[in-house]
Each structure stands twice: as C-alpha cells, then as structure tokens.
Amino acid sequence: MNGDLVIAADFGTSGVKVGVVDAELRLISQVVETYPLYLAPGGHAEQVPSEMWSALVLAIAALHRKLPKLRERAGAIVFCGQACGVICVDKEGNPLRPCLTWMDKRGAKISNRLVGGFPNVRGYRIDKGLLWLALANGAPAQNGMDPTAKILWIKENEPEVFNKTRWFLDVRDWLVHRATGVFTTTPESANLTWIMNTRKGHEGWSEILSGMAGIPIEKLPPIVQGEDVIDCLTVSAAAELGLNKNVKLVGGASDVTAATLGTGEVEDGALHISLATSAWIAGFFPSRRVSISHAFATITSSLNYRPLLIASQENAGSALEWVAKITNANVESGFSKNGIPQIDDPYFMPWLAGERVPVDDRNLRGSFHGLALHHDKNALRRAAMEGVAMNLRWGLEKVRQVRGVQSKRPLTLVGGVAANTEFTQLLSDTLNQELHVGAARHTGVLGAAVLAAKTMGWASDACNCAVRLKGRTQAVYYPDPSRATFREDRARRLNKMRGDIMRSYKHK
C-alpha cells in the first residue's frame, strides 16, 4: 500500500461521519456533515443521493485541512451506512428519483398484499411464509420498510422509473459506484430485499424469490464481501475528494455490521446495543436464527455471510428529540437535571413511527399514560427517557431467549444517545445490567475501517483486527440496586398496560 491511513465514512439518516484511522485503530481525526431528510405524510421519507456525496466531499475537504498530508497517506477508503434504501439508477448510475430511505413506509399495503393471503399466520400466507423462511430466513416486513415493498411501490406508482431502472441500489451501493464506477451490493442489503437465498453454501440471488416478489433479478447488482477491494477511485472522484486515484475502495457493509466490528464484540452470541435515531440489539451467531413471533432474525453479513442477528426498534433518539422539542428543550442538555423520578410519573410509549421489535406493527403510536395535573415538563422528559429504556428492556428480554446468547456479561452500548450520561445510567438501572460505552458516536467509522485491515496489512482479516477494539471502554455504568428495584416495579406495571394499549391499535 502507498498509504498508511484508512478513510472510513458512516452514512446515517441525518448525515455522514467520516474519520481517519491508523494502524493502531486510533481515530486520529473525524468530521460530521449533515444532509436533509425529506418527510411527508403517508410514510414518505426520501433523501437525495447527490446531497450525500456532497456531504462526503465537504467532510473529506475538512479532514484535508486538519491533516495536510492526508492525500499522500490515505491508502484505502470504506463506506458503511443505513440499509433498506432504494435508489433507482440508469445504466450509467444516474439516479432516476430520490432515494426511498429505510424509513419510507409507502409500500406497506403492497407488502401486506405480497405476503398475505389465506390461510395465514400473523399476516403471512403459510406457503409463502414457509418458503421465504426456508430460503431467506425471513420475509418482507408488513410495515413496508424493506426494499421489496419500496421497489414494488415504484413499479405500481412510477412505472416509467421502474422500466428505466437498470439497477436497484442501496445507499452504500450507489456511493461505491459514484466513487469507482462499479455496481455492487453487500450481503446485508441483498438479504434485506428477501430475494437472496441465505442458506449456507447456497448464498446468492434466488430466481424463486425473485419470481415470488415480481422483481427482475437482472436489475439486482452483484454481491461482494466487505473486505473485497472493489476498485481504485475514478479520476473524477479522486479529484473531488482530493485523493490519489490509486486509493483502493474496500467493499464496506451495513451500519450494523460496522458497529458490531467497532465494538470488538465479535464472538458468537455476544450482543451490543446501538442507540441513535432508532435502536438495535445485534450480535454474530454461528448459524441462522429467527424469531417469527418477535420479528427479528439473523441476516447474512459482509463477513463471508456470517450470520448477524439484528433486532431493530423504530424509535430511540427520534423519540427523545420529539419530546425535547415539545417541551422546549435541547436534546443534548434537556435530559439532565429533570428532578427525582416519582412513583406516579407518567409512562411513555415511544412508538411515534410504529414498532418493529418485539412486535412488528406500523399502526402503533406513541402516548403518555397516567398524566396528572401536577406533571410538568420535567416529568414528561423523565417519562421519555424511561420509555425508550423500557422499550429496549422489552426487546432485550425476547432476544435473550435466542439459543447461544451470552447473557451473563456486560453489554456494550454505542450510538449518539449513549453519550448522554443520565440516560445511560437510567438504562443500566432499567436493564439491571452493567453497561460499557465504547466510541459512542464513531463506532461505525472504526468498524468500517477494520474492513480494510486485510488490504492495509494490519491483520489477516477484519474479525482478528476488531478484537483489538474490545475493552476500549470510555465509561462503565453499574445498576444502582435501589433504582433497579424502582424500575423493576415500574416495568411490571407497564407490562400489564402495554398489551391493552397495543390492542387499541389493532384494527386501525
């Protein structure tokens, strides 16, 4: 390699985090650039691909100013980011419309029609569900958030775009093409279309599932591994980024795979929690796992299809931001010094955009329960923090029932919300669990950089490199026995009322 540094970019919902990582896995510089998310009624959630690329250009320009020799020292670049997006491009890779992000739910009715029918279990026609389960270890979600529903929504509502589309790409896929001119996708993105066979030894696009979904398999790009070298930068991309054109772009991964690597928790059954706009509980397993009743499963990761369990919850930081907004607080400082929790504090259901785990129901909506005249803004903020923590407890209880989970060990916590000390202590008390906070805001960047370890000569493979990150803890939180007892009592009462609240949305 001509350089000794890796540039890693983590494309999230609100912006891109770009960092420079050295051979000791030190994040020596980092920049965040934002880009818009366009929301509208009816489940509309879009982003403009060119705005993501422009944010990357701005971020790397800022890194050049911080590290004047970055051009000479950069040896590889890696992208990770949000999955379940759909970008329709022509044969040159030009986007034909904005990206339907993971949050877009306009295809919900189409997805229900696709998977439904008689006889059914939990909304899935039995024969379809069993075939999807056997081949893909899951099926398109009924909430319309999977790429399958988005592609079919375009097919029904924008047929001219569908017909002109040469490739259906995820966010990372388009950015890789923009940088190298090569069309690819990762195993995570492929799996989440539910058109991929994920059985061991049979991994790849499935003609059977393609036919079931009604999506042409020839419009789906080649699947590559996260440690593969895709190509060097194109001359134009290198010029825009201020880098040498011989910089190698490495395959990359989803944000969940990158975050898992970034925690260093790469043993089978080891879990971590990510708390950002949404939340997830994730960890590697030696073989496929699935929980039909609680709507989570393993998917094939970019590490040679190694199964990665992902249990995603719709609302975390987004719910806290909403409560901060309605109570005229700043989300960074508004959830501190909110007074002592009271036994009659209201309960908060953070389902502001539906929920996925441990119930998959797009109709659920958030609510405060048990409001009284004496409750003030502080009580609402306390309830919001507790509500997000209780929702995580609810999901974690189900994930820990999975065979092979290592439950008797501290949990690593990452993501922007993990940087909030008051919330993280509350979460420790709520889970009655020791929590270790890693590089809260930049775990994905570190994990993405690890994918370049083999290319850079830092390690034999990404996992052997990632274990060096384990134990790089920035803070440790221990549950307080009295507070844990208080939260346990609150959790018991919440469990009794949660079912009734969910049933009230059942027929909407």
Upper half-sphere CA count for residue 423 (Cβ side, 13 Å) = 28
- Does position 29 have pLDDT exceeding 80, yes or no? yes
Contact assessment for residue 82 and residue 278, using Cβ atoms and an 8 Å cutoff: no
- Does position 507 have pLDDT exceeding 60, yes or no? no
Alpha-carbon distances of 126 from 111, 347, 360, 499, rounded to whole Å? 15, 37, 18, 26
Contact assessment for residue 82 and residue 101, using Cβ atoms and an 8 Å cutoff: yes
Q: What is the DSSP string of 124-141?
A: EEHHHHHHHHHHHSS---
- Does position 1 have pLDDT exceeding 70, yes or no? no
pLDDT at 367: 95
Separation of alpha carbons 428 and 481, rounded Å: 10
Alpha-carbon distances of 252 from 81, 219, 402, 409, rounded to whole Å? 9, 21, 28, 29
Average pLDDT over residues 272-277: 92
pLDDT at 505: 80
Amino acid at 432: N
Q: What's the pLDDT tens digit per position in 70-117?
A: 999 999 999 999 999 999 999 999 999 999 999 999 999 999 999 999
pLDDT at 318: 92
Separation of alpha carbons 317 and 363, rounded Å: 20
pLDDT at 247: 97
Residue 1: other Cβ atoms inside 10 A? 16
**Confidence class for position 331, pLDDT limits 50, 70, 90:** confident
Average pLDDT over residues 197-223: 97
pLDDT at 178: 98
**Confidence class for position 334, pLDDT limits 50, 70, 90:** confident
Average pLDDT over residues 331-347: 87
**For a pLDDT cut of 90, what percent of the chain falls above it?**
90
- Does position 211 have pLDDT exceeding 60, yes or no? yes
Chain-centre distance of CA 403, in angstroms? 23
Average pLDDT over residues 389-397: 98
Alpha helices in 102-170 (DSSP H): 108-115, 126-136, 147-157, 159-164
Q: Is the dihedral of CA 59, 65, 67, 68 positive or negative?
A: positive
pLDDT at 364: 92
pLDDT at 474: 86
pTM as predicted: 0.94
- Does position 233 have pLDDT exceeding 70, yes or no? yes
Ramachandran region, residue 182 (left: φ > 0; alpha: ψ -120 to 50; beta: rest)? beta
Average pLDDT over residues 197-208: 98
- Does position 508 have pLDDT exceeding 60, yes or no? no
pLDDT at 360: 86
Query: Please, what is the average pLDDT of the chain?
Result: 95
Q: What is the DSSP string of 265-296?
A: --STT--EEEESSSEEEEEE-SS--EETTTTE
Contact assessment for residue 384 and residue 319, using Cβ atoms and an 8 Å cutoff: yes
Separation of alpha carbons 305 and 83, rounded Å: 16
**For a pLDDT cut of 70, what percent of the chain falls above it?**
99
- Does position 439 have pLDDT exceeding 90, yes or no? no
Average pLDDT over residues 219-232: 98
pLDDT at 440: 63
Q: Which of 170, 197, 175 is nearest to 185 (CA)?
A: 170
